Structure 1
Amino acid sequence: MSVRPTDTTGVGGLSGGAAGGNDPRFHGEPHLLAEPRAGVPDIIDTLDGFQRYCELLSQGVGPLGADAERASGYRYGHEDWLVQFKREGAGIGLLDPVALAAQGADWSQFNDAVGDATWIIHDSLQDLTGFYDIGLRPRRLFDTEIAARLLGLHRFGLSAVTEYYLGMTLAKEHSAADWSYRPLPRDWRNYAALDVELLAELMDHMSRDLVRQGKDEWAREEFAYALREGLQPRKPHPVPWLRISHINVLSHDRLGQAVAKALWEQRDRLARQYDIEPALLLSDAAIIEAARKKPHNNREFRAIRSLNVRVRIHTGSEQDKMFERYAPIQRSVKPSLWKTTIQQALDLPQDQWPTMPQPQHDAQTNAPRSMKYWQTHHPHRYETLQNVRRVIAQIAEDTHTPADVIIKPQIVRNLCWTDHPECRDVAGFFTEQGARDWQVRLLAASVSRVIM
């Protein structure tokens, strides 16, 4: 059922031997890669350093390993605080995009230096949007996480994949660090450099394995799709305050929704002002508790402890010191501000209470996820869904590919969310829903037969 390509070039620059070659896995005892072979590089945070590295990249050869580090959980925004690259002939570059932006760095110079080289990124959708914001424009992509999923690996973190193919594991002790901290300690720089040290070698091994399994064309389509999706401006949430965790517990409590919305908006305003992670000022759990209890006086407000104490995060690791850097900002926001915000929400007239949008169970975008709901209210649709799932599971087994990689489960649910799926053009429906051509070719005929 696999689709064989007619060439081995294009998106991702796949290449390798014929299918049916030797097992590409590393056989032996894996070992920890302590630091890059060429040593731990310094940070590039000046225009002169930036231009020199661009010159090295222009003289380099082969693909470009790329990664980025953010300050998630510490700072308000999602910007990259460090971007790291490696190319044969240029070595590893650790670039500070914030410092370089302040000095007027022109990232088109970087893009020109790299040209049409393939960018190797692990979990590219995590990094491409940040690259786009900076001004980076990759032209071709090889995503080692996508490749790992297509190849049926059970673990697809970067360290697990390098261990599987190269027999090397990577230390991950700084993955949750506050990357806005300056100067970056040496061991942090070492961690960041290791994330790109092995990407080119990993791409070589995975490319051969994709060819061996007859999935190189699948990979090219997936990489092209990820590149298009990732290089898009960030899309704002249509109703931002609905991102509060467990907001659904207030689905029938409009006054509670008003309290939650007011607290979220106040927290967001302060977090933006102080450039701090909103949850370090007030947790989502505290917002929900306040919205459910609706304190009307000082006694009731003081009884909600989470509104009256500074948010503290204890990990038992070095991260605790990083969080403590933000304690002065946390202490500057007094509990009385939350109390005033709650009271103002409680005083709102009913016609100013927010209304949560109702879920739309249409077959195009949002068939329900609950199988209990399907069984109880739409048993015929549920039976069709189960039949389709069995067919996809068999194809997944035959191709040694996880079913959720072969097709998104939501697309399958959407297809079956009708009493007459047999009237559908399955191939056209899959395409409209965002399935790639290889998925349509692999599935459409078999799924069409089972729903007839």
Structure 2
Amino acid sequence: MVDRYAAADGPLAADAERASGYRYGQQDWLVQFKRAGAGIALVDPVALAQRGVDWGPFNEAVGDAEWIIHDSLQDLPGFVQIGLAPKALFDTEFAARLLGRQRFGLAACTEHYLGLTLAKEHSAADWSYRPLGRDLRDYAALDVEVLIELRARMVDDIESQGKEGWAREEFAHLLRKGTTPKDPPEEPWRRTSHITQLNHDRRGLAIVRELWTERDALARELDIAPTLLLPDAALIKAAVAKPRNSRQFSQIRILNERVRMHVGGERDKMFERYAPLQRKVKPSVWKNAILRALALPESDLPSASGGQDRVEEGTNAPRSMKYWRVHHPDRFDLLEHERARLNVISQDTNTPVDVLLRPQALRNLCWQAGEGFVEASEDAVAGFLRSQDARPWQVSLLSRPLAVQMREAQERQTQEDRQAWEPQGHGAPERAGSMQAAGGAIV
């Protein structure tokens, strides 16, 4: 395989398949490649690792070739983990978004650009099972079969819209981001689905934390997806109900199910392979975890928000628009006007707003501007955008219009303040007198 790929040239199509709905973690269980003149290769990275195979020769074989990946941030971390080292990237998913496509899944892209409809019936298959059937191998091969031609069609569109420079900067950014190890979250249990239902229930959050921790330890030990042992919905139900005895616990059916079948049909045959592991975990494990959480002293309960509402200089702005609107109406007004300006630029350039600028970066700009940390100048805004990891094309395109909007917001605020202090008929002298009596200053 290495010899064939070394003898070929041109970009390299790449993809990976995982078994995250079945096994613990995000390990790659299959990687697929295609290069013109070398054909398609389906590789089992787990089997190679067990035999001590090093990916170095393959990296040398493809050299500086551009890797074509659809939604690269999903696959790049796994590639790096097994030893692959891409040097250049073309992300077909991001390219579709940059071109203003409303649908940017691989099937939607191939249908639009190539007139091909890709079957996705095996997208949720258990790719860790061996041997892989012929239908799964065909499915995996098709994901890379079309990428080289798809890239060529997209390049034509990118050039016609004058976005070549934008695309190069974004692909370089995605490659750096996807190949840079991430720090694990401090409180991963807070990512439980629908946990916002418990934002003001510290005891309920403690139950989620205890159940999540117990579930994660068992799942790691058994090498099974945590949700096959206990779904997130069960954690939330337990946190809301807070069962304190066996009778209350038994009434929550989802906590007492040991073998979990999901959707019926072919997928259940895959889930059945994990039934013996599921049966190893008795419901009493979850009951004891809940009781431990209920017995915690108040001082050991998790915070209601996990620190998400704390906002200090240089930190992320709050996401709640209600919080902005109620407590910081001036900043909210600026944010609304900046969003409107971005919408105009989005329409003019046929580029989605969230591609023009990360929504959190815009919130941070408006928040810091309200604190007085960012001046309403093009240079100041440009510097702030760079600090938010904006790419040069974004800084060049957006700094001036965002700064203009900030100045207009300041002028609106100044005008409103002036109107608030203008004399209003006969009542003005009395108002001034009351302010002077209180020691206030009249401007």
TM-score after normalising by structure 1: 0.85
- Give the aligned partner of residue 368 of structure 1: 318
CA change 1:387–1:422 in 2 (3 A) is farther
Q: Residue 224 of structure 2 aligns with which residue?
A: 276
8 Å Cα contact 1:363/1:415 also seen in 2: no
Structure 1 SS opposite 2:16: strand
Q: Among 165, 174, 179, which residue is 1:217 paired with? A: 165
* Alpha-carbon offset, residue 83 of structure 1: 0.2
**Aligned positions of 1:2-401 closer than 5 A:** 53-310=1-258, 312-356=260-304, 357-359=306-308, 360-362=310-312, 364-401=314-351
Would the aligned equivalents of 1:58 and 1:114 in 2 still touch at CA under 8 Å? yes
**Residues 363, 297 of structure 1: CA spacing in aligned structure 2 closer, same or farther, 3 A cutoff?**
same
In structure 1, distance between residues paired with 2:271 and 2:82:
26
Separation of aligned partners in 2, 1:328 and 1:123:
35
Comparing 188-197 with 237-246, greater Cα deviation is found at 237-246
Q: Distance in 2 between matches of 1:345 and 1:383?
A: 43
Bigger RCO of structures 1 and 2 (CA < 8 A, at least 6 apart) = 1
Partners of 2:258 and 2:282 within 8 A in 1: no
More helix by share: 2
Aligned to 1:9: none
CA distance in 1, matches of 2:275, 2:22: 11
Counterpart for residue 50 of structure 1: none
Contact 2:23 2:225 in 1 (8 A): yes
Deviation at 1:423, TM superposition (A): 4.3
Change (3 A) 1:348 1:362: closer
Shift of 1:383: 1.5
Deviation larger for 222-231 or 234-243: 234-243
Q: Name the CA distance, whole Å, in 2 between partners of 1:220 and 1:117.
A: 14
2:10 match: secondary structure: strand
Q: Does 1:413 align with 2:363?
A: yes
Of the two, which has the highest radius of gyration?
A: 2
Q: Which residue of 387, 400, 403 maps to 1:432?
A: 387
Determine if contact 2:376/2:403 at 8 Å carries over to the other structure: no
Change beyond 3 A, Cα 1:328–1:147: same
**CA offsets 1:288-318 (integer angstroms, 9 cap, x no match):** 2222222221111111111111252432341
Residue 376 of structure 1 and its aligned partner are, at CA, apart by 2.2
Q: Is the 8 A contact 1:133 1:233 kept in 2?
A: no
**Contact conserved, 1:84 with 1:193, CA < 8 A, in 2?**
yes
- Equivalences, count: 400
For residue 375 of structure 1, report the CA deviation from its aligned partner.
2.1
Q: Could you tell me how far apart the structure 2 residues matched to 1:368 and 1:236 are?
A: 22
Output the CA distance in 1 between the equivalents of 2:251 and 2:172.
Answer: 54
The secondary structure found in structure 2 opposite 1:439 is helix
CA distance in 2, matches of 1:354, 1:368: 20
Amino acid at match of 1:307: L
* Distance in 1 separating the partners of 2:404 and 2:134: 59
Which one-letter code corresponds to 2:65 in the other structure? A
Contact 1:363–1:414 (Cα < 8 Å) also in 2: no
Q: What CA distance in whole angstroms lies between the structure 1 residues aligned with 2:93 and 2:342? A: 22
Match of 2:354 in 1: 404
Measure the CA separation in 2 of the matches of 1:110 and 1:276. 31
**What SS does structure 2 have at the residue aligned with 1:61?**
coil
CA shift, 1:422, in A, is: 4.2
Name the TM-score, length of structure 2 as normaliser.
Answer: 0.87
Question: What is the distance in 2 between the residues matched to 1:317 and 1:422?
Answer: 60
Once residues 338 and 71 of structure 1 are traced to their aligned partners in structure 2, the CA distance between those partners, rounded to angstroms, is 25
In structure 2, the residue matched to 1:451 is 406
Q: d(CA) in 1 for partners of 2:296 and 2:94? A: 49
Q: Percent identity, aligned pairs only?
A: 60
Structure 1 residue runs of 5 or longer lacking an equivalent are: 1-52
CA offset digits 1:226-260 (Å, max 9, x no partner): 00000122431111222222223333333322222
Q: Give distance in 2, aligned partners of 1:311 and 1:253.
A: 30
